[in-house]
Structure 1
Amino acid sequence: MQGRVHSTESFGSADGPGVRFIVFLQGCPMRCRYCHNPDTWALDRGTLMEPAELLDQAERYRSYWGREGGITVSGGEALLQPEFVAELFEAAHARGINTCLDTSLAPFTRQQPFYQAWERIMAACDLVLADIKHIDPAEHRALTGHSNENILDALRWLSDAGFPVWIRHVLVPGITDNDEHLRRTADFIKTLSNVRRVDVLPYHSLGVYKWDELGIPYTLRDTQPPSKERVENAERILGAAVSGLPQA
């Protein structure tokens, strides 16, 4: 099987534990207003590669991974190519390679044929990095162009199955840094039994040039990164969902 690969990164240090080889797959169903990789959206681009090709490339750097490192499959949205991810992860486990899935969970459904591939992926997945873009359904759609109903359902599925998850939340001033919404997000996370970590990712505009090159209007051009105080506030509120500390 071949997958459409946008690019790879040899020494990723922010996409799972340890040093990791990152595979960015092509294609994404979301249109997040702050996306820093809009060049990954199109489904018909990228380089066709087989799992063995990617793993052979990844293993050149295996000596740098340490005990916790491995490969992370990201995007775009990796779950748009579920059969390929399943085959890649199965082949990685056969080589004794730790696997991590970085996903928005937007393609998740309990319907076939996706669900069969999803179960295969999870059987060979060691960690899921999952985004909660926005807890409010209407605000989520305004931010991403996509519903969050199936995304929250996927997180419940992962909790019921006991798969370890790290939650990520991009903090965008005026959009995702509202204290009420942060507390609602924390309340949801508290219902999950498998969340090991919550990361607050400050909004940045480093990818704006890609929007300009693609001729896509960037609607957050005047939005500034959040202040240190607002980042720390979000970390207190969301971190309490995992640590059990009192909320801010």
Structure 2
Amino acid sequence: MLILKTNIIKTQDNTLRVHSIESFGTHDGPGIRFVIFLQGCKLKCLYCHNPDTIDTTGGQEYHIEDLVQRAVKMKPYFGRKGGVTVSGGEPLLQSKELIPFFKRLKEEGIHTNIDTNGRLLNHFAVELLDEYADLVMLDIKHMTEEGYEYITGQRNKETTFNFAKHREQSGKTMWLRYVLIPEITNKPELLHALGEYFKDYKTIEKIEIQPYHKLGIHKWDTLGWDYQLKDARENTDEELQGAVNILKNYFKEVKVN
């Protein structure tokens, strides 16, 4: 098991540092989701559509029990599949605080999900994942070290794959996510490499293809940051279907999200 030494988000006891909340999310896990976007991330992905979540000192502190009660009020809308998804930013930077939050959600019979880039696997993250996270959605940035560094600004893509191995060994459910960028991540050799790497995993229920879009450019401009993918184009329907056709050879379910 890989243990990474990484800075964590500093919060008061029994609080989470939150960027924003979505009450009726339909794209962040099964069913209707109460989605909490936490503040702070150690990556700076070129295509990030919420760059204002990156700053680890931003956001607003919410008391955990207040969030639990908001989720409880949402239970009639969850049905059999819905629940709470914690995304970001990178939620595992607040793993220690998420443990009591997810524990309370489980006491209330609410399904829990973590949307993560998989770079953090300290003892708090391991406890959270192994004991309280019903589902993990793991973002696969790129299949090569050079591509990973180009997209994220950081090296060592193996942290994500070691994270996936840990989840597989736990026997608990996982979804994969993959942003499809023409000429960058949407290459047949990369898609086949992705499939070959994960084809024998038993815990992966599906892979979600996330089409590239430019909806967050204005946020980059507001922050005074240079958006380096201005010239990148969005996927054609034919390209999306081609990616689906390749990945169907390896995964039980392939979805364009």
TM over 0.5: yes
CA gap 1:171/1:26 in 2 versus in 1, 3 angstroms: same
From 175, 197, 202, the equivalent of 1:166 is 175
From 35, 45, 49, the equivalent of 2:58 is 45
SS at match of 1:223: coil
CA gap 1:182/1:65 in 2 versus in 1, 3 angstroms: same
Q: Is the 8 A contact 2:49 2:217 kept in 1?
A: yes
Give the match for residue 233 of structure 1. Answer: 242
Give the match for residue 141 of structure 2. Answer: 133
Extract structure 1 runs of 4+ deviating beyond 6 A: none
Identity rate of aligned residues, in percent? 38
Q: Is the 8 A contact 1:85 1:121 kept in 2?
A: no
TM-superposed deviation, 1:244: 9.6
Give the match for residue 225 of structure 2. Answer: 216
Give the match for residue 8 of structure 2. Answer: none
Cα distance in 2 for residues equivalent to 1:186 and 1:213: 38
SS at match of 1:89: helix
From 202, 205, 208, the equivalent of 1:199 is 208
Cα distance in 1 for residues equivalent to 2:18 and 2:105: 16
Q: Is the 8 A contact 1:5 1:24 kept in 2?
A: yes
Where structure 1 has 5 or more consecutive residues not aligned to the other structure, the ranges are: 109-113
Give the match for residue 80 of structure 1. Answer: 93
Q: Is the 8 A contact 2:114 2:133 kept in 1?
A: yes
**Equivalences, count:** 240
Q: Residues 168-221 of structure 1, C-alpha deviation per residue, up to 9 Å, x if partnerless?
A: 100001110011111101111113221100111100000100000000000001
Which range is displaced more, 52-61 or 85-94? 52-61
Cα distance in 2 for residues equivalent to 1:55 and 1:119: 19
1:123 aligns with 2:131: yes
Cα distance in 1 for residues equivalent to 2:146 and 2:194: 14
Q: Is the 8 A contact 1:197 1:242 kept in 2?
A: yes
1:25-64 equivalent positions in 2, closer than 5 A:
25-64=38-77
Which amino acid letter does the alignment assign opposite residue 16 of structure 2?
G
Q: Is the 8 A contact 2:182 2:233 kept in 1?
A: yes
Which range is displaced more, 151-160 or 229-238? 229-238
SS at match of 2:41: coil
Cα distance in 1 for residues equivalent to 2:180 and 2:170: 28
SS at match of 1:29: coil
Q: Is the 8 A contact 1:86 1:118 kept in 2?
A: no
Cα distance in 2 for residues equivalent to 1:193 and 1:174: 30
Q: Is the 8 A contact 1:171 1:200 kept in 2?
A: yes
CA gap 1:225/1:82 in 2 versus in 1, 3 angstroms: same
Give the match for residue 106 of structure 1. Answer: 119
Give the match for residue 9 of structure 1. Answer: 22
From 185, 198, 206, the equivalent of 1:189 is 198
Which amino acid letter does the alignment assign opposite residue 132 of structure 1?
I
The normalised TM-score by structure 1 is 0.93
SS at match of 1:205: coil
Which range is displaced more, 30-39 or 221-230? 221-230
CA gap 1:244/1:95 in 2 versus in 1, 3 angstroms: closer
Where structure 2 has 5 or more consecutive residues not aligned to the other structure, the ranges are: 1-13
Q: Residues 13-36 of structure 1, C-alpha deviation per residue, up to 9 Å, x if partnerless?
A: 111111010010000011110000
Q: RMSD between aligned alpha carbons?
A: 1.5
Which amino acid letter does the alignment assign opposite residue 93 of structure 1?
K
Give the match for residue 111 of structure 1. Answer: none
Q: Is the 8 A contact 2:205 2:253 kept in 1?
A: no
1:24 aligns with 2:37: yes
